[in-house]
């Protein structure tokens, strides 16, 4: 049986258990299936009831732990479902009267991360056979995400008669990632906890529920005493309620304080530092510390610099920072006697920007390359998006900066970045892979696989971008009018740990003396 990457990473005992379950009921690893293979029709759901959930989560024995599964977080499971963390779910009929449920469940505290993949096997009459999830607790076969899927199906089955629309798709699921919640009148918003809602739902008969739906309340006049009293109570009990954001004067509490951009590194230069003697300047540089950056300031810099080379702020914040594009040059230069051109490029990027036929060609075609990349990724990745990126800095290393060509995201792989190259010298190439290994070119081959050369300056650039922006991956794109190569590069922590001490040394010995004392560019007195 073909195994998914997840299955391959399991230890032997867990893998054997996993394959035994999958082989017995499905015949194919569910993590190799696509959502298009699953139906959204409610009538195919198994008839799971509360007793089936209790039997599975509490009483059934897990082969992996060889203990009774004590699913003490079952209430969390219900909350996961009720609060909309199941972004997508489908059902597939199997042999022997069984069905396979496959769902994507969002992280409750980290909704921006890639949704977890959860599957459950159950008979049509509701007997749960097995469950699995790729979360850290998924090997127990009874994590909160498995429970959330069970509660979702149980709730759907219980409300089937009330909704009377079993032939419709699973409209009860929240939108993908719960990114957008439609507005509603305040009077229509239910502020009760999920536990209270469940108790209320279970206590109502279908007839009572129907009567409750027909109940009509007299509208409250906007601005009336009762109207304002309601919002005042809401402020006291739920001060962060979204309903308050559009209502004067309560909205004032939601107006964010503007985040002031931190001063540029060149602004640390003062008349006093310019007068220091060489020895004094050297001592100051060794002990000097930049101001700490807050998360808000990091975000403010990135947003304010998305125009990149068309933004004055981008040049101002880059000045004095070792940027990703200069990393390899920095690491191959004597910090005590750095090349003057390199120091000028780092400290005065706007004054020393250059243009060649190669850079002009790259700038001209970057948009075309990006559109080709977006078309390809949209076909292969659900919910794919690519947006402009500004200058990224990191509070750990405030003397560095990185400006990737874009910030990307998709439902299946989370958040990343992209870096686009349009090589002038290869513009007529119809097959980029055939050029791999050519002298000076960024692509090479390793064991027959074409990849970004790990010794090339672009690899250094991509690694700096990944670590400074804290992205999960970088799509490195090489484009010509006739072909496109894309490699997904992940952070190389060993590489980064090796270069960091050298980069900081270069900043203190090579860059700071120019920043504070104009060591290389000051006119002789």
Say whether pLDDT at 458 is over 70.
Answer: yes
Residues 274, 330, single domain; the answer is yes
Q: Name the strands in the sheet holding 322-323, side by side, starting at the edge strand that comes first in the sequence.
A: 322-323, 397-402, 392-394
pLDDT of residue 64: 40
Residues 61, 118, single domain; the answer is yes
Question: Which range is least confidently modeled, 4-13, 264-273, 277-286, 490-499?
Answer: 4-13
Mean pLDDT of 54-71: 58
pLDDT in tens, 10-33: 888 888 888 988 888 888 999 998
| 48 part of a folded domain | yes
Please state, rounded to an integer, the average pLDDT across all residues of the chain. Answer: 85
The 8-class DSSP code of residue 333 comes to S
pLDDT in tens, 274-306: 999 999 999 999 999 999 999 999 999 999 999
Percent pLDDT > 90 in the chain is 50
Q: Comparing 433 with 259, which gets the higher pLDDT? A: 433
pLDDT of residue 165: 45
pLDDT of residue 152: 87
441 vs 431, 447, 455, CA distance in Å? 14, 18, 11
pLDDT of residue 158: 79
Residues 332, 426, single domain; the answer is yes
Residues 191, 172, single domain; the answer is no
Long-range contacts of 201-206 (CB under 8 A, 24+ apart): 206/161, 206/162
Residues 485, 428, single domain; the answer is yes
Residues 162, 192, single domain; the answer is no
Last residue of some domain: 145, 178, 211? 178
CA 363 from centre of chain: 27
Map tokens 């922006």 to a residue: 469
Q: Residue 167's pLDDT band (boundaries 50, 70, 90)? A: very low
Q: Is the peptide bond between 249 and the residue preceding it cis, with omega within 30 degrees of 0?
A: yes
The 8-class DSSP code of residue 56 comes to I
Residues 135, 204, single domain; the answer is no
The DSSP code sequence of 285-332 is HHH--PPPPPHHHHHHHHHHTTTGGG-HHHHHHHTTSEEGGGHHHHHT
Q: Comparing 472 with 3, which gets the higher pLDDT? A: 472
pLDDT of residue 96: 80
pLDDT of residue 139: 73
Range of the domain at 205: 186-254
Mean pLDDT of 121-147: 84
Say whether pLDDT at 212 is over 80.
Answer: no
Q: Residue 116's pLDDT band (boundaries 50, 70, 90)? A: confident
Q: Comparing 73 with 393, which gets the higher pLDDT? A: 393
pLDDT of residue 111: 58
Q: Name the strands in the sheet holding 474-480, side by side, starting at the edge strand that comes first in the sequence.
A: 385-387, 406-410, 414-421, 474-480, 483-489
| 383 part of a folded domain | yes
pLDDT in tens, 363-385: 999 999 999 999 999 999 999 99
Residues 22, 157, single domain; the answer is yes
Torsion of CA 54, 55, 57, 59, to 10 degrees: 120
Mean pLDDT of 497-509: 97
């Amino acid at each position: 049986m073909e195994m998914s990457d997840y299955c391959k990473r399991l230890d032997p005992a867990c893998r054997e258990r996993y394959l035994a379950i999958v082989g017995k009921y499905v015949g194919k690893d569910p993590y190799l299936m696509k959502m298009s293979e699953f139906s959204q029709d409610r009538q195919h759901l198994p008839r799971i009831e509360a007793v089936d959930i209790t039997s599975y989560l509490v009483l059934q024995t897990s082969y992996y732990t060889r203990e009774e599964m004590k699913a003490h977080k079952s209430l969390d499971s219900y909350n996961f479902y009720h609060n909309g963390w199941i972004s997508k779910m489908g059902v597939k009929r199997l042999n022997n009267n069984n069905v396979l449920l496959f769902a994507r469940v969002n992280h409750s505290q980290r909704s921006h991360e890639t949704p977890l993949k959860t599957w459950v096997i159950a008979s049509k009459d509701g007997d749960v056979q097995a469950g699995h999830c790729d979360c850290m607790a998924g090997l127990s076969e009874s994590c909160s995400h498995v429970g959330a899927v069970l509660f979702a199906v149980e709730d759907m089955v219980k409300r089937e008669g009330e909704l009377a629309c079993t032939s419709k798709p699973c409209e009860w699921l929240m939108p993908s990632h719960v990114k957008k919640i439609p507005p509603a009148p305040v009077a229509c918003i239910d502020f009760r906890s999920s536990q209270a809602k469940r108790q209320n739902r279970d206590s109502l008969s279908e007839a009572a529920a129907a009567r409750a739906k027909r109940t009509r309340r007299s509208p409250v006049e906007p601005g009336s005493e009762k109207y304002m009293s309601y919002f005042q109570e809401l402020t006291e009990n739920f001060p962060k309620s979204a309903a308050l954001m559009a209502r004067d004067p309560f909205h004032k509490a939601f107006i964010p304080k503007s985040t002031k951009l931190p001063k540029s590194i060149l602004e640390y230069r003062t008349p006093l530092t310019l007068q220091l003697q060489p020895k004094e300047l050297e001592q100051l540089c060794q002990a000097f510390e930049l101001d700490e950056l807050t998360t808000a300031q990091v975000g403010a810099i990135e947003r304010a610099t998305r125009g990149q080379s068309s933004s004055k702020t981008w040049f101002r914040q880059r000045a004095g920072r070792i940027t990703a594009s200069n990393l390899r040059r920095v690491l191959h230069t004597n910090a005590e006697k750095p090349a003057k051109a390199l120091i000028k490029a780092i400290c005065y990027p706007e004054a020393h920007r250059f243009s060649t036929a190669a850079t002009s060609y790259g700038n001209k075609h970057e948009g075309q390359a990006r559109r080709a990349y977006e078309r390809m990724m949209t076909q292969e990745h659900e919910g794919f998006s690519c947006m402009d990126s500004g200058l990224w800095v990191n509070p750990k290393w405030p003397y560095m900066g990185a400006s990737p060509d874009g910030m990307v995201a998709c439902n299946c792989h989370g958040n990343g970045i992209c870096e686009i190259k349009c090589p002038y010298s290869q513009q007529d190439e119809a097959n980029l892979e055939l050029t791999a290994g050519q002298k000076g070119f960024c692509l090479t081959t390793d064991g027959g696989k074409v990849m970004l050369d790990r010794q090339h300056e672009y690899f250094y650039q991509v690694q700096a971008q990944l670590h400074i922006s804290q992205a999960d991956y970088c799509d490195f794109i090489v484009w010509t009018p006739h072909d496109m190569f894309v490699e997904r590069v992940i952070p190389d922590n060993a590489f980064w740990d090796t270069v960091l001490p050298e980069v900081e040394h270069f900043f203190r010995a090579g860059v700071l003396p120019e920043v504070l004392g104009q060591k290389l560019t000051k006119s002789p007195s």
